[in-house]
Amino acid sequence: MDVHFFGAWMEKCARVVHEQREHLTRLDAAIGDADHGTNLDRGFTAIRQALAESPPTAPGPLLALAGTTLIRKVGGASGPLYGSALRQMGKALGEAESVTLADLSAAMDIGLQAVRWLGSAEQGDKTMVDAFAPACAALRQAVAEGVKLPEALAMAAEAADQGAKDTVSMQARKGRASYLGPRSIGHQDPGATSTAMIFCALRDVSSA
């Protein structure tokens, strides 16, 4: 996976988030600020512009630039959370011109750690971690079993999607949704949903 692969991933994320921004906002309206879709759409649009203006030459700098852009352009929780994850992933990948599945899996784990630290969230709290953590676990399993890239990323996307669906039955323990207490049960978490979309975009790029 080279810089073109990761550029295609960010482009796919921008398209998917733009197409699904109303859906994400409706999910957020039920248990949050009703701005998740709008914020992410603005952020990934800014990523697209930043990458066009200053094209990175390696995957690590590309993800670092994407993360920095999200932090600067997106308010609320999603900008710092996604931005920190991408920045830390970029730092982990360094200046290498190509990335293996094992490299990506290790970087994803570091990105997840950043999200957990910043949001003080764990699985079961009804946050993006509930999609992110299962996806990372699926990638680690794929690496251990020697699974090829497209299948490995499909495993991660499926795990993230199931993780997002599993948040419906959870009571939120972090963020604005936690203020609702038991009333947060029965709604799918918007952050977990957008995380699943991002992993699905990664899967789609690998199989294109």
**Is 128 within 8 Å of 194 (Cβ atoms)?**
yes
Listed residue (144, 189, 142) closest to 166, CA to CA: 189
82-87 CB contacts, 8 Å cutoff, 24+ apart? 82/40, 82/43, 83/43, 84/111, 84/114, 84/115, 84/118, 85/111, 85/112, 85/114, 85/115, 85/132, 86/111, 87/63, 87/114
Tell me the C-alpha distance between 5 and 98, whole Å. 9
Look over the chain and give the mean of its residue pLDDT values, rounded to a whole number. 94
Q: Dump pLDDT digits (tens) for 60-91.
A: 999 999 999 999 988 778 889 999 999 999 99
pLDDT at residue 185 in the model: 92
**pLDDT over 90 (residue 40):** yes
Q: Dump pLDDT digits (tens) for 176-199.
A: 787 778 888 999 999 999 999 999
Q: Which domains does the chain have, with CATH numbers?
A: 3-207 (1.25.40.340)
Q: Binning pLDDT at 50, 70 and 90, where does residue 18 land?
A: very high
> Tell me, what DSSP letter sits at residue 121?
-
